[in-house]
Amino acid sequence: MSSGDASLAGAEFTFRYYDGQYATAAETEASGAPTRTWAFKTNEKGRIRIMDESLKVSGDDLFYNSMGQITLPIGTLLIQETKAPEGYLIDPTVYVRNITPDGTLEAVNSYNAPTVSEQVVTGRIQIVKHTDTGTTKVETPEVGATFNIYLASAGSYDAAPANARAQLTIDKDGFAVSPDLPYGLYTVEQTSGWEGSRLMEPFTVKIDENGKTYSYIINNERFYSYLKVVKVDAITGEAIPAAGIGFQIIAPQGQKLEWWGADTWYTDGSGVMKLPCELEYGRGYQAVEVVAPSGYVLADKPFLFDVLPENAAQEDGLTVITLTAPNSPTQISVAKVDYQGNFVPGATLQLLDKDGNVAAQWVTENTPHTLYGLPIGAEYTLHEAAAPEGWLLADDVTFIVQDTAEVQTITMTDLPTELHLSKVDYQGNFVIGATLQLLDRDGHVVDEWVSGDTPHVIYHLPIGATYTLHETAAPEGWFVAEDMSVTVGSVVSDSAFSMEDEEIPILHTTATVNGEHIAKAAGTQTISDVVSYKHLIPGKEYTVTGKLMDKSTGKVLIQDGKEITTSITFTPAEPDGTVTVEFTVDASLLAGKTTVVFESLSKEGKELAVHADIDDEGQTVHWPEIHTTATIDGKKNVVSGKTYVLKDVVGYTNLIPGKEYVITGTVMDKSTGKALEQGGKPVTATAIFTPTEPNGTVELEFTIDTALLGGKALVVFESIQMDGHEVAIHANPQDRGQTVDIKPAIGIITIKDKPVFDGGSVKTGDSGVTVAVLGLLLSAAGLTYLLRRKRHS
């Protein structure tokens, strides 16, 4: 096995083949020249296989059998090392090996011995160590200084083989020597020395001569070092690349360092301060920060350091101690929260300096965002550039960076978008009980609620999004409002919408003629329909349209070929009030009919309310009709001369049951067209009655002395009044039902000298011929008289 850096690989052996069998090398060589000669080298394990042609260095051709395999014929081999491997001596022995007929070959175990006892090259390393204190300038043995020596290829003392490493301690004379070390390159490393003395830099020694001692004289001077202060962030540990950070150095004895009139040194643009002078070995130096970097708090304590060899390193050929001086940056913790203090993620925030420049920008998360290193005393504005969906932009927050290493918290409170939706009437009063929905543009229901006495608020809708406010059910007595479009604004004032509900108008009508629900079916009459309304919107224009209906048919009455309708447009000043609609009609066409006024109310062409109850008496006007049958003793004609009771049976239709009526009859002389007078007064009769049914009869009686009425036709005219208003009249002189004829009576006349016609009655006591008046007939032929002479006795 190899030692140190020595290797068994690469040794070369010469093989001489003789085709005879010989016992010794001398006998073999005496036989003459070898048949063939080859040179082979050892592999990494120090072995040679002559069957491995890759190890052949030079020589004749090898022997091959019929199968092409390397072989050796029967004979004698002389084997001798002709080149030793690195770190070893050549073995001069000539080895004899016979190749016998059985085909076996005795193995040749040739190995190289070291040049010393193991026949490996060995040597020693000697250290002569002194130090210069810097005061006496005398070389003084550095007793106790220690060194590690190890095979360089091992990489470290601990990794080196035991026979290829050593630890040396300098004795009182300043000497130390290693034991024998095998061939190789060694590292010499000082591991300790006197305090204040520099440690020797590691160096290498090559042991390649057997038995040689390699001696080195080492002198350590007093330890000095330059100082480099590196400013780093106390939080991140990264360098602060800022110039102008000032430091003063305090020596262990307490005095402030001055050099060439300067006592303060500053960092360059990379944040590094390099002291221009060396510091002597010592413990307890202080670096005092007197000027802090921008955005950082001045260090409140000095930075301590020791000028010791173990703290130093070589930089550009100089010994330098690097002092890391951390600074705490200013810390501004920005929290984006809602009104409950919960974090609001997704907002884009900007930090603006006093000139409005963007110093930082970020998107909020579910944790605070911390800004480091803002200059102390600087004023900044926290500005929300973009709110997350469903939130309003917050107001700017202005703050000043405080001189503290503590975290300064800035809170920006976000408010969600608020869509305020109210259901109101025209006066802005809340309408309670409407079922409303908010629909997105795809018609999906975003929210549904029932209106109350406050606005309904929906939060977190995207700014600028447009929705449809839809009423699915109106409260009782109200119209369902038309859909309205609403858009979420960037401020609450732009996101308040009111859906105005219109109360369903209530109509009540009262149709009358001269204030009564009953009217005379004669001449031109005006029906006044007073429409009472409720719940109209003042200032809006409305139209009331009326139709005159025939109650019996349920159809609109026709006059002059057209439906009887009328309308009026008005603008109410109050929600409740009245308006009058008038119909001018030919009442003669309405005798016996009952008319009902239907009314509808519309606004902007849309019908809002209808009052169309055919059975509503308030909308009804009755147009009575009467017909009569006049008789005397049940007859239509009687003979004059007596006082009769004329009965007039008045048949009426379409009166209002329960109302009191006054019927007045007047007996008319058909021939004169005037009222019949007796005793200087018109012959009349009056009856007061209250019908229980719309249709019925009432009877009038007239007492008439017919003595002078022979030959006359009497016609009865009737008039019915209610509350002083005439509501029906029957005054047709040609109506036979109203007519009674009075026939002339037959008289007895006594004629003394000659027949005499006495149109009067027969006088008592007259003598003469009795003339019987058989009848007085008024006709186109004149009068016919029947006279009968009374026979004298």
pLDDT in tens, 253-284: 999 999 999 999 999 999 999 999 999 989 99
Residue with tokens 């919107």: 537
DSSP 480: P
Closest CA to 599 of 571, 568, 574, 577: 568
Amino acid at 486: V
* pLDDT for 696 beyond 90: yes
Distance CA 171, CA 175 (A): 5
Other Cβ atoms less than 10 A from the Cβ of 340: the count is 6
pLDDT band at 100 (very low <50, low <70, confident <90, very high): confident
DSSP 118: T
Closest CA to 231 of 192, 271, 199, 264: 271
- Compute φ and ψ for 495, nearest 5 degrees: -120, 25
Give the pLDDT score at 1: 52
Upper half-sphere CA count for residue 18 (Cβ side, 13 Å): 22
Structure tokens that stand for 332 in this block: 């501004």
Average pLDDT taken over every residue of the chain: 87
- Compute φ and ψ for 670, nearest 5 degrees: -65, -30
347 touches 336 (CB < 8 A)? yes
pLDDT band at 493 (very low <50, low <70, confident <90, very high): confident
pLDDT band at 92 (very low <50, low <70, confident <90, very high): confident
Closest CA to 347 of 393, 402, 284: 393
Query: What strand order describes the sheet that includes 75-83?
Result: 56-59, 36-41, 12-18, 75-83, 94-99
| DSSP calls for 693-716 | SSSEEEEEEEEEE-TT-TT-EEEE
597 touches 527 (CB < 8 A)? yes
All residues at 6 or more sequence positions from 512 whose CB lies less than 8 Å from its CB, including other chains? 527, 528, 530, 621
Give strand pairing partners of 749: 771
Give the pLDDT score at 293: 92
Average pLDDT over residues 628-646: 92
User: What percent of the chain clears pLDDT 90, i.e. is strictly above it?
Assistant: 66
Structure tokens that stand for 260 in this block: 């060439």
| Cβ burial 166-189 (10 Å sphere, 16+ → b, else e) | bebebeeebebebebbbbbebbbb
Upper half-sphere CA count for residue 416 (Cβ side, 13 Å): 16
Distance CA 355, CA 141 (A): 70
Give strand pairing partners of 750: 770
The helix or strand, by DSSP H or E, that contains position 627, with its residue range, turns out to be strand 625-632
Give the pLDDT score at 132: 62
* CA distances (Å), origin 445, targets 346, 458, 471, 618: 26, 13, 12, 47
Closest CA to 691 of 722, 637, 716, 655: 655
User: What percent of the chain clears pLDDT 70, i.e. is strictly above it?
Assistant: 90
All residues at 6 or more sequence positions from 393 whose CB lies less than 8 Å from its CB, including other chains? 384, 386, 387, 490
pLDDT band at 3 (very low <50, low <70, confident <90, very high): low
97 touches 105 (CB < 8 A)? yes
Closest CA to 719 of 684, 769, 754, 756: 684
Closest CA to 12 of 73, 119, 91: 91
The helix or strand, by DSSP H or E, that contains position 27, with its residue range, turns out to be helix 25-30
Average pLDDT over residues 205-223: 87
Closest CA to 178 of 155, 194, 160, 193: 160
Structure tokens that stand for 367 in this block: 């944790």
Give the pLDDT score at 2: 56
Closest CA to 632 of 617, 641, 643: 643
All residues at 6 or more sequence positions from 605 whose CB lies less than 8 Å from its CB, including other chains? none
Domains of the chain: 1-120 (2.60.40), 122-219 (2.60.40.10), 224-327 (2.60.40.10), 331-408 (2.60.40.10), 418-500 (2.60.40.10), 506-623 (2.60.40.3930), 625-743 (2.60.40.3930)
Give the pLDDT score at 768: 36
Give the pLDDT score at 430: 94
Give the pLDDT score at 207: 93
Structure tokens that stand for 181 in this block: 């070390």
Give strand pairing partners of 398: 381
pLDDT band at 765 (very low <50, low <70, confident <90, very high): very low
334 touches 365 (CB < 8 A)? no
* pLDDT for 776 beyond 60: no
Distance CA 693, CA 303 (A): 123
Give the pLDDT score at 607: 93
Average pLDDT over residues 424-446: 94
In this structure, the strands spanning 681-682 and 555-556 are unpaired
Distance CA 662, CA 720 (A): 6
Rounded to the nearest angstrom, the gap between the alpha carbon of residue 399 and the centroid of all alpha carbons in its chain is 31
Structure tokens that stand for 266 in this block: 């500053």
